[in-house]
Amino acid sequence: MMGRHAGWIAAAGALVEDYGIPVVTLFPEIEFDKEKFLAAVDAKVKEHGYCTVCVSEGAHWPDGTFLAEQGTRDSFGHAQLGGAAPIVANMIKDALGHKFHWAVADYLQRAARHLASESDVAQAYALGQAAVEKALEGKNSIMPTVVRESSSPYKWSIGEAPLSEVANVEKMMPMDFISEDGFGITDKCKEYLYPLIKGEAYPEYDDNGMPKYVTMKGAAVPKKLAEFDL
């Protein structure tokens, strides 16, 4: 799952444990301990007969090396990560002998609009609207933000943050969101996550059963900046 240094998406996957599904989660905030991990998986399998492992792409060894590191770098100089899933799956097979199936969510994490929650869609629309409004007001070098006012009932508003404070900066999972054993999430984390996935917001479909996609015009505007080097 996406999350080089922050395990939010992996944490969301762990929510299914509330519904009886055994899960072991690997967070980038926690150094990977092979022996403890294998023991946790084996315990889940012995108790339930199976286990799901949610692996953040940023899962790493104590020396900082990513499980999925493939030796290439992106434009920011960050390590390009390959698939952690097959590495972890084969680790389980070799050590425990369990059968496995691994899958990579890949671009579904960005493009699965049909699974977006009502909260997610409402906030995305509000953020986009705020960005346009602030641009028309002449503001720049800022990013609209979602400000949580309360979790129960869930209330939020739109704020703003200077780009200098958010560009190339990651918001990590608080350690009190991760269970003591390092493989699960706490009630405090669930209190934060559940409001974000509540409500359904299915896209509209046409008579052929296809989603009604919006086609952007992509009309170019004249350049406002002179040529420059990065």
Structure tokens at 23: 């899960």
- In the block, residue with structure tokens 């986009």: 128
Task: Kindly state the percentage of the chain with pLDDT values over 90.
Answer: 66
Of the CA atoms within 13 Å of residue 179, those in its CB half-sphere come to 17
107 pLDDT above the threshold of 90: no
Average pLDDT (11-36) is: 95
- Give pairs for 43-51: CB < 8 Å, separation 24+: 45/96, 45/98, 47/22, 48/22, 50/22, 51/22, 51/23, 51/24
4 pLDDT above the threshold of 90: no
- For residue 145, name the pLDDT band (cuts at 50, 70, 90): very high
2 pLDDT above the threshold of 70: yes
Better pLDDT: 112 or 143: 143
Sorted by where each begins, the domain ranges of the chain are: 1-112+174-185, 116-169
74 pLDDT above the threshold of 70: no
110 pLDDT above the threshold of 90: no
Query: What is the CATH topology of the domain spanning 1-112+174-185?
Result: Rossmann fold (3.40.50)
23 pLDDT above the threshold of 90: yes
225 pLDDT above the threshold of 90: no
- In the block, residue with structure tokens 């680790």: 91
Task: Kindly state the percentage of the chain with pLDDT values over 70.
Answer: 94
Please give the Cα distance from 9 to 6 (Å, whole number): 8
Average pLDDT (119-134) is: 96
The pTM assigned to this predicted structure is: 0.83
- For residue 10, name the pLDDT band (cuts at 50, 70, 90): very high
Average pLDDT (208-218) is: 87
Average pLDDT, the chain: 90
72 pLDDT above the threshold of 60: no
Please give the Cα distance from 120 to 1 (Å, whole number): 19
Please give the Cα distance from 200 to 198 (Å, whole number): 7
162 neighbors 141 (Cβ within 8 angstroms)? yes
Residue type, 223: K
Question: Beta-carbon neighbour count of residue 104 at 10 Å?
Answer: 15
Per-residue confidence (pLDDT) for residue 111, from 0 to 100:
84
pLDDT tens-digit readout, 155-203: 999 999 999 998 888 889 999 999 999 999 999 999 999 999 999 988 8
Q: Dihedral sign for Cα 73, 79, 85, 88, please.
A: positive
Tell how many helices (H) and how many strands (E) occur in the chain: 7, 6
Bridge partner residues of 23 (DSSP): 52
Structure tokens at 90: 């084969």
Per-residue confidence (pLDDT) for residue 76, from 0 to 100:
57
Please give the Cα distance from 153 to 195 (Å, whole number): 9
Per-residue confidence (pLDDT) for residue 80, from 0 to 100:
55
